[in-house]
Amino acid sequence: MSERPIDTLLQIMRRLRDPERGCPWDRAQSYASLAPYTLEEACEVVDVLERGDRSALRDELGDLLFQVVFLSELAREEGVFDFEGVAAAIGEKLVRRHPQVFGDAPRVEDAGHAWEAIKAGERAGRGEHGVLDDVPRSLPALSRAAKLGKRAGRVGFDWPDARGAREKVGEEIRELELAVAAGDSAAMQEELGDLLLAVTSWSRHLKLDPEASLRRANAKFEARFAAMEALARRRGLVLAELSAAAWEGLWEEAKAAVQS
C-alpha cells in the first residue's frame, strides 16, 4: 500500500529539520519565527476564499497545513506532542463540544450558544474564569473587538438591540469631534478607538462581520480606484494634477463601472 500524503509530508518535515542533512533555514526556525508565517498563510487562505479561487485554495491550504506540521515538529522534538496528538486533540474537542451530535444531549437551535457554553465550562475547569481570557491578542483589531463584544454579550454586558448600539456610535462620534475641536491628539486617538469599538457592537447586532465588511469595502475601493486610473490613462490625465472636481467626476464614472 502506498504511503499516505500526510505521512510523506511529515517525513519531509523531519528531513528538513535533520541536524546533519536538513536545510539550514528550516533548522533555524523557532515558535516565534514561525508565528508571522502562520498568520500570513491563514490570511492568504481567507483571501482566496473571498476570491472564490478553488484551485488556489488547495495550494494555500497546503501552505497553512505545512505551518501546522512545522510547529508540531518543533513540539515533537521537545517531547511535548506531535502531529498525531494535534489531530487527536481536535477530534476529541469536536466530539466533546457536540454532545447533541455524538452524545445523548437534546438537539439545540442555537448551536453557537451551546458551543460557547461548553467552552466556558472548559475554561472554568482549567482555572480560566475570565470571560475574555482566551480571546487571541494576535487577531486583527477589528475582529478581536467583535469577538470581545460577543463574549461580553453572552453574559449580559451588551446593548438590548441594534438601536442602543447605534446610539453609542453617535455618542462616540460626538466625543471624537470634541477632541478634534480641542486639537488633543491623544484624546482623538482614544475616542477614535472607542468609535471603532462601538461600530463593531452595532455590526454584531446587525448580524454583520465587521472585518469581512471592511475587507469587502477595501476591495471595492481598490477596484474603483483602478478604474479611475484606467480612465485617467486613456484621457492622458495626470492623477496628481487633478482638481477636486475632476477627481469627483472620475470617481462617479468608476462607481458606475464597478458596482461592487
Q: What secondary structure does DSSP assign to 115-150, as a single string?
A: HHHHHHHHHHHTT---TTTTS-TTS-HHHHHHHHHH
Cell of 162: 441594534
Final residue of a structural domain among 167, 185, 208: 208
Cell of 170: 453617535
26: in domain = yes
User: Does one domain contain both 236 and 175?
Assistant: no
pLDDT tens-digit profile, the chain (260 residues)? 468 999 999 999 999 999 999 999 999 999 999 998 998 999 999 989 988 899 899 999 999 999 999 999 999 999 999 999 999 999 999 998 888 888 877 776 666 666 666 666 666 666 656 888 878 888 889 999 999 999 899 888 999 999 999 999 999 999 999 999 999 999 999 999 999 999 999 999 999 999 989 999 999 999 999 999 999 999 999 989 999 999 999 999 999 988 76
pLDDT of residue 127: 61
Identity (one letter) of the amino acid at 138?
S
pLDDT of residue 117: 67
pLDDT of residue 71: 98
Cell of 28: 533555524
Distance of CA 1 to the CA centre of its chain: 40
The reply to whether the predicted model has a pTM over 0.75 is: no
110: in domain = no
Final residue of a structural domain among 208, 223, 248: 208
Contact 191, 179 (CB under 8 A): yes
> What residues have CB less than 8 Å from 159, skipping those under 6 apart?
165, 168, 201, 205
User: Does one domain contain both 162 and 182?
Assistant: yes
Split into its structural domains, the chain has a count of 3
CATH number of the domain encompassing residue 180: 1.10.287.1080
Look up the domain containing 232 and give its range. 212-257
User: Does one domain contain both 91 and 54?
Assistant: yes
CB atoms within 10 A of CB 1: 3
Give the Cα separation of 142 and 199 in Å (integer).
10
Give the Cα separation of 70 and 254 in Å (integer).
45
87: in domain = yes
User: Does one domain contain both 227 and 159?
Assistant: no
User: Does one domain contain both 178 and 234?
Assistant: no
pLDDT of residue 112: 62
pLDDT of residue 107: 74
Length of the chain: 260
108: in domain = no
Give the Cα separation of 233 and 237 in Å (integer).
6
User: Does one domain contain both 164 and 241?
Assistant: no
pLDDT of residue 103: 83
pLDDT of residue 132: 85
